[in-house]
Amino acid sequence: MNYRRLIRANLDISEISFGCMSLGLKHAENQALIQCAFDAGINYFDTADVYKNGFNEESVGRALKPIRQQVILATKVGNVPNEEGRNREWNPSKNYILKAAEKSLKRLGTDYIDIYQLHGGMIEDDWEETIEAFDILKGKGMIRHYGISSIRPNVIRRFATQTGIVSNMIQYSLLDRRPEEAALGVLSDEKVGVMVRGCLAGGLLAGKDLSDYLGYSIEDIDILLDKVNSFSIEKMSIAQAAVKWVLSNNSITTAVVGIRNMEQLKDTLGAVEVPELSVEAVRELSDLLKPNLYAKHR
């Protein structure tokens, strides 16, 4: 496993990390997956308070307990689940964040969170109040660092340039190139880590039945997949090539890959073993489709 520096936090993060959202409802199976990932060198695990209405945090915390001091645990806050466990109300207020952090710590079974992330955000939010809450939690030792999880360029610019965030989780893939135009530059300039989610484009780059995606037609995606397959000399799956393409960008800290079962984990870990994409392959894949752009929140 290779590691990349999360500069503002002075941490080394495995370049492939574990997105926990897709984990199931059986603790034993989740623990086996997480332990296997850790044994392979993954040290960054990402969850959120609303995943499965808190069960995900509980299960992740239980699995990480024997290795807690050896991993970097990230969770998120801001989306308020209703009685059915669905997160539809947005609340980035200080009071809510302070209370939610205590609940997350209890579910995770730990006394600190390595990176506490704002799970979204709008330009209209009282961002100073949000940062005040994070600073209070950091001062109490309840969190070590804080970040955001946002795809909105105007929100990203504000937090990257005016706050102490250490990271931003953003959606980025061969089928979602929007961050290149309006986000990756400022994050790199400000030394803010980039945690990439969605590098498999909702499964379209991992064998899922094709459908239109962010302005790309099924025909467009077929063309891209054919090109990936043409690099057969690399001896990697399409999913592995998609991860390798994301990691070829030096501004990326880690690819947070959602993992549900052992087969997915093994394929993801296989991306560590296969050769790097050549410079030519990266260029050809990047040039194949016209990059999409953010239409809102610029």
Does pLDDT of 103 surpass 60? Answer: yes
pLDDT in tens, 20-55: 999 999 999 999 999 999 999 999 999 999 888 889
- DSSP for 277-296? PPHHHHHHHHHHSPPP---S
Average pLDDT over residues 113-123: 93
Rounded CA gap, 44 and 245, in Å? 20
**Average pLDDT of the residues in 117-141:** 94
d(CA 110, CA 102): 10
Render pLDDT for 62-81 as a digit per residue (tens, 0 to 9): 999 999 999 999 999 998 87
| 234 confidence band (pLDDT: 50, 70, 90) | low
User: Pairing relation of β-strands 44-46 and 87-90?
Assistant: unpaired
- What is the model's pLDDT at position 85? 58
**Looking at residue 89, what is its pLDDT?**
87
Q: What is the reported pLDDT for 121?
A: 84
Residue 232 predicted with pLDDT over 90: no
- Known catalytic residue at 294: no
| Structure tokens that stand for 121 in this block | 């955000």
Tell me the domains of the chain and their CATH numbers: 3-288 (3.20.20.100)
Would you state the structure tokens that stand for residue 245, as one six-digit string? 């393409």
**Catalytic annotation, pick one of 44, 51, 116, 213:** 51
Q: Exposure string (b/e) for 201-229, b if CB count within 10 Å is 16 or more?
A: bbebbbeeeeeebeebeeebbeebbebbe
**What pLDDT does 288 receive?**
83
Cβ proximity of 14 and 1 under 8 Å: yes
Arithmetic mean of pLDDT, 186-200: 96
